[in-house]
Amino acid sequence: MADQRGRQEIGPIVSSAHLADGALPALSELEFGLILAGNAFDRWMVRCMTAAGEPGCAAIDVLVLHSVAHRQRPKRLGDLCSVLGVEDTHLVIYAIKKLERRGLVTSARAGKEKLIAATEKGFETCLKYRAVREALLVESMKGIGLDPAVTSAVAATLRVLSGHYDQAARAAASL
């Protein structure tokens, strides 16, 4: 399709034109943005953790470590999975085992439940990660002039959207 000047319009930037042909093409644009942002974020976490002195971690390992270190309180496996939105608990269990082997977390039984806590080395690694993040990511993000209120609103919107995708996933599983 051409615009008023006779130039060809590119149209929405999507990964799957057949999905954008539906009733809400903008959703396909958003989904493509989520794909790109999600993959870039995973790469960033892995490389930032490497720069913080822990090479070889997967993105889920980094997420689990930061979640376990959050507020310096031990966490239950179910709580970690819930907070991270991970349905397959074995992924988090495997990440915990890898982090234990690195000496970044410990686990202990509390009755029937397993509690996972960050070690001193784990907290130190999180602080090193934060320092790398501040130097390489936060400083450059500040330079583009993101409004903190708008950034928080986008984050809230993404959390709401995650609920819609979860509900749709449950509905699809029942078909």
Alpha helix locations (H) across 25-147?
Answer: 25-51, 59-69, 77-84, 89-101, 120-133, 139-143
The answer to whether 65 and 126 have CB atoms below 8 angstroms apart is yes
CATH (residue range 37-141): 1.10.10.10
Q: Where are the domains of the chain?
A: 37-141
pLDDT one-digit tens code per residue, 51-102: 999 999 999 999 999 999 999 999 999 999 999 999 999 999 999 999 999 9
DSSP-derived 3-state class of residue 167: helix
pLDDT at 166 over 60: yes
Q: Are 158 and 152 in contact (CB under 8 A)?
A: no
Predicted confidence at residue 1, as pLDDT, reads 53
Question: What local confidence, expressed as pLDDT, does residue 11 receive?
Answer: 72
67: Cβ contacts below 8 Å, ≥ 6 apart: 75, 80, 83, 84
Q: Which residues of 69-85 are buried (b: 16+ CB within 10 A; e: fewer)?
A: beeeebbebeebbeebe
Split at pLDDT 50, 70, 90, the class of 8 is low
Q: Which two tokens stand for residue 11?
A: 């149209």
Q: State the amino acid at position 149 in one-letter form.
A: A
Helix (H) or strand (E) holding 105: strand 105-110
DSSP class of 138: I
- Region 122-143: what's the mean pLDDT? 96
Report the candidate in 153, 157, 142, 69 with the shortest Cα–Cα distance to residue 106.
69
Question: Per mean pLDDT, which range of 5-19, 46-60, 149-163 is the poorest?
Answer: 5-19
